[in-house]
Structure formats: structure tokens, C-alpha cells
Structure 1
């Protein structure tokens, strides 16, 4: 097995397992730290560290105006809105439940590719979409959700975050970005951190809680910065350049399994029978979407590969 294949396998492991654990870690951290400020700290440290790594690897940090604009757009779609608002919603939604909602990403990607590129849906895709919609209905139509304070708005905001992340995936696969994925990731995170700090001030978040955060929150933050941000997000950006966005989106049906197990074990989160059935239906739909045959003419242009 050559080096590039090993790197792809390691990258998939990162976005599958490490990102699956970030739902739990964010849930723990957001209990004590405001969500936008939490994200700003996380991505600020991670972005600077990644850029330092890029310099140590003798990579040029020079970017064109177009590339700077594109990394800003990507940073906003992925991190400012896609992550910042998602973490805010974890105040009202269990981490495992949120992970199940996030698993709809391949469905969103499929619709976006249909709208943007005019790609026709294959039979497996149509079956997957049908199962995905049914799974979503079963998941969000439960009485427990309707009577839970903040749950409905939390679900709505999470789905809007999934849409933002999905569009970001399609955007990055086509955009002119810095060729080195360390540089691209570092700029995205650093710029997103600055934007999140601004929004944190605009929404008057109480940042004084950082001084009194517990040990478990400190540990969660360190893991989020090093593994959730630097390792996994860099792997994510790398994969978007070397494989199709739909294949990258397969993490959406592995992450929920990891998140559900960790939420159950560490936070005593419970799943109803209807949620279990919904998750099986939903993830089966995601499988059908992501296992369909690829159309080779839609591969990413060679000039965009790292």
C-alpha cells in the first residue's frame, strides 16, 4: 500500500472516530463556556498551531486575494456558522441526538450537487433520500421533543448548520484554495476565530466563566484543539481535495454511532425506541446515498489537488 493510500485511510479514521467524540466534548464544554467564545478559543489556538506547523514544514503562507476570500467563506460556512451555532444548540439537544441530525449531511450534499451541478439522482440515491426523509420524520416527530423547552429551535438550528457544512463541502471541492492543506486549514481556523470573537462580543456572551472552568472542561478543550481541530479538520480538508465530497460525507453515519455510545456512557443520555428505529432508517438511507456508483466526469480538477 503506497503512502497516499495510507494517508487517506488515516484521514478517514480521523473524521470517523475523532469527530464522533467531539459531540461529547463540545457538550461538556458548552455547559460552562459560551458557544461562540468556546469556538473562538478552540479554532484560534488550533489555527495558529497549524500555521506554525506549515512554516516548520517550509510551506509558504502566501495566498492570493481570491484564495484569501475563499478560505474566509469556507471558514464561515464550516466553523463560524456550521460549528459555532451547532455547539450553541447542544445546550438544548443531547449529543447523540445531535449527531443523528448531523448524519443527514450526505442527503444535503446530494441535493446541493443536484441544484449546483445538475447531477441526476441514481436509483440508490432516490431510495436513500426516501429513507432519510422518513428517518428524519420519525426522529423529530416524537412527543418528547415537542414538550422539551428549546428542543425544537435546537433541532432547527442544527439542521441549518448541516446545510451550511454541506454547502461548504461542495464549495471547497471546487474553490481555489491554498494548495497545501495545512495552510488552507490554518487560515480557515484563524479567520473563523476572529469572526467568532466578534460575534461573541456582538451577542454579549459572558466570557468570565473561562476563569472558573472545571478540570473536565479544560481536558475537553485540549482534546478539541489538538485532535478535533488540528488532526481531524486538516484530514477533512485533505480528503475534500483527493476524494469526492460524498465520500467524505460518509463520516456522517459513523460519527453518530460513536457519539451515541459516548453520550450514553459518560452523560447518561437515553434513546427512545422511536429514536433507535429512526436512527436505523436514517443511517440506512445515508448508506444508500453514499454507496451509489460514481460518475467519473465529475472528478475534481487535477490543479486543485494537494
Structure 2
């Protein structure tokens, strides 16, 4: 049996986190309009983790886990999926999917700052320029009068920044953490743990649980695509890339995802973008490019 070249796998993984994750903003927006946020995330990750472990067993991957790996999986699962996905879904109840994607594109900026604080890495001139542009873009994006006067929108923006901060720290943490060697097993544990945490939060908040059979056709399709592609394909690819290439390169998905999300939100959900939002998007994404680009 011929082994797939590592370079080809890395290219496929980047396509997954660029295109598939860009479409998850739309899918999540469709699903969260009908389902409670934490319940939705819990259900998604329950099914995803079961499928991942099934695939891992089929390919004879080692599914045992050490105590240290389990603790690290709890930390990563909480930051990536409880904070990064559960709270993000809640924010989507107040924000358009394209707008939320633009806010999420600030992740490389947070990654760079955290790496500076945690690893004491010096910032290059391009990175400093990127941070300045990123701050200007964020200011233009969130300072629009129609947003400032809308309490729900401000609430959603704050939630997004909480998600981005947690996701950014997790990205730095995962690159060095002791986790199961198999990316399928590692992702499976993270999602299984997160699904339990999300379910507990959902119960505490009193969210209404419903059977998938009672969901609308659109939500059933959105959830299926989120599980199969958003969780299994893209997130496994994400974990794989964090171990194979630099964290900064993986974070380049942050300036491709918003473009995909903006187009899909406009084309399918008729989401509107103001001229100021478009200008902010260009400045913000150019800033992200400066932060993540390397010779």
C-alpha cells in the first residue's frame, strides 16, 4: 500500500480548514436560529466523537490515554469547543454569520500577542504593522453607530472576542501539549469531553432539548454537514496541522474563512454588509496577512 505523501496531506488539510470552516459559519447560523446554542454544540460533538473513535478503531489507532493527556484534552476541549464553539453559537443569535467571521479573523493577532507574552518571541516589523492594521480594522468594524446603539449586537461582539481569546490560547497550548499521538483519537477525546461539558451547561441554563427527528429539514442538513465536515474533516485537519507546521501558518485560515463566510452569508442568507464593514474587512484581513505571512 502506497503511503500518501506528507506534503499532499498538508495541502488537503489546509483546504479543509480554509473552505470547510468558512462554510461552518453559515451552517451554524442556520442551526442556531432553531436550536439552543449549547444543546446544538453538545449534540454535534457527541456524534462527531463517536464517529471519530469508530474511524480510529477501524484503522487500529491506539485509543488509550494517559492521565496527563486526559487533563490536557479537558483544557483543549473546553477552550476550543465549549468557549470557542458553544459561546460562538450563542453570539450568532445576535450577529450575522459574515460579521461574526470577520471578528473571528482577529485570531492571528491574539495568537501573536500570546506568543509574545508566553514564549517571549520578538515581534518583527511586519507583525507590528499587522497588529496596527488589525486594531484599526477592528475599530472600524465595531464602531458603527447602528452597532453601538444595539445592545444585543454589543453583547454578541463581546462573546466573539471571548471565543477568539480562548481559541488563540488553545492553539498555542496544543502545539506543545502532550496529547494522544493519533489526531483522530486526540480530536475524539476533545470532542467527547466538550460534549459532556456543553450538555451540563445546557441543562444548567435550562435550554430546551428536542429530538433530531423534530428539527426542520434545513437544520438536519446543517447539523449533518457540521458533524461530517466541520467537526471530523476540518477539525482533525486542524489538529494535524498544529503538529506539522507552525501555529502562525495554521492561523492563516483566519483570513480565508471570512471571505467564504461573507460570500455564503450574502448569497444564501441575504446578509447585508455596510460600506464601512467592507472597508474594515479589507484593512483587517491585510493586517492578518502581514501577521501570518513569511518568506
TM-score normalized by structure 2? 0.97
**5+ residue gaps in structure 2?**
none
Please, which of 206, 209, 212 is the counterpart of residue 207 of structure 1? 209
Q: Is 1:13 aligned to 2:15, yes or no?
A: yes
Residues 35-50 of structure 1 mapped to structure 2, 5 A cutoff: 35-50=37-52
Aligned partner (choices 102, 105, 127) of residue 103 of structure 1:
105
Distance 2:171 2:219 in 1: 29
- 8 A contact 2:212–2:220 mirrored in 1: no
Distance 2:53 2:212 in 1: 25
Q: Alpha-carbon deviation of 1:211?
A: 5.0
**Which 10-residue stretch deviates more, 204-213 or 6-15?**
204-213
* Other-structure match for 1:177: 179
Question: 2:224 matched to which residue of 1?
Answer: 222
> Equivalents in 2 of 1:7, 1:26: separation in Å?
27
1:301 equivalent in structure 2: none
Select which of 130, 135, 147 maps to 2:149: 147
Correspondence for 1:302: none
Picking from 181, 197, 200, the partner of 1:198 is 200
Q: CA deviation at 1:146?
A: 1.4
How far 1:208 sits from its partner (Å)? 3.2
Match of 2:156, SS? helix
Deviation at 1:19, TM superposition (A): 0.2
**Deviation >4 Å, runs of 4+:** none
Q: Aligned residue for 1:303?
A: none
User: For the structure 1 residues 235 and 228, does the alpha-carbon distance in structure 2 shift closer, same or farther, using more than 3 Å as the test?
Assistant: same
8 Å contact 1:33–1:209 — kept in the other structure? no
**1:125 is the counterpart of 2:127:** yes
Residue 292 of structure 1 and its aligned partner are, at CA, apart by: 3.7
The alpha carbon displacement at 1:41 in A equals 0.6
Provide the C-alpha distance between the structure 2 equivalents of 1:86 and 1:241, rounded to a whole number of angstroms. Answer: 25
- Measured after TM superposition, the shift of residue 149 of structure 1 is 4.0
Give the distance between the partners of 1:209 and 1:219, measured in 2 at CA.
Answer: 14
Question: Could you tell me whether the CA contact under 8 Å between 1:32 and 1:209 is conserved in 2?
Answer: no
With 35-44 and 208-217 compared, the bigger mean Cα shift is at: 208-217
Greater mean alpha carbon deviation, residues 207-216 or residues 143-152: 207-216
- Post-superposition shift, 1:210? 4.9
Residue 209 of structure 1 deviates from its aligned partner by 7.2
Which residue number corresponds to residue 281 of structure 1?
283
CA–CA separation in structure 1 for the residues paired with 2:213 and 2:219:
11
SS in structure 2 opposite 1:27?
A: helix
In structure 1, what is the Cα distance between the partners aligned to 2:53 and 2:237? 15
TM-score by length of 1: 0.94
Q: How far is the alpha carbon of 1:148 from its aligned partner?
A: 2.5
Pick from 8, 13, 26 the counterpart of residue 24 of structure 1.
26
Equivalent residue in structure 1 for 2:93, among 86, 91, 97: 91
Cα distance in 2, alignment partners of residues 16 and 45 from structure 1: 23
* Residues 96-117 of structure 1: CA deviation (Å, up to 9, x unaligned): 0000000000000000000000
- Write out per-residue CA displacement over residues 67-112 of structure 1, whole angstroms, 9 at most, x where no aligned residue: 0110111000000111100011000000000000000000000000
Name the counterpart of 1:4: 6
Deviation at 1:127, TM superposition (A): 0.2
- Of 131, 137, 140, 2:139 maps to 137
> Distance in 2 between the 1:147 and 1:210 partners?
37
How many residues align structurally? 293
Query: CA–CA distance in 2 between the matches of 1:123 and 1:292?
Result: 12
Between the aligned partners of 1:196 and 1:242, the Cα distance in structure 2 is 29
Query: Which residue does 1:71 correspond to in 2?
Result: 73
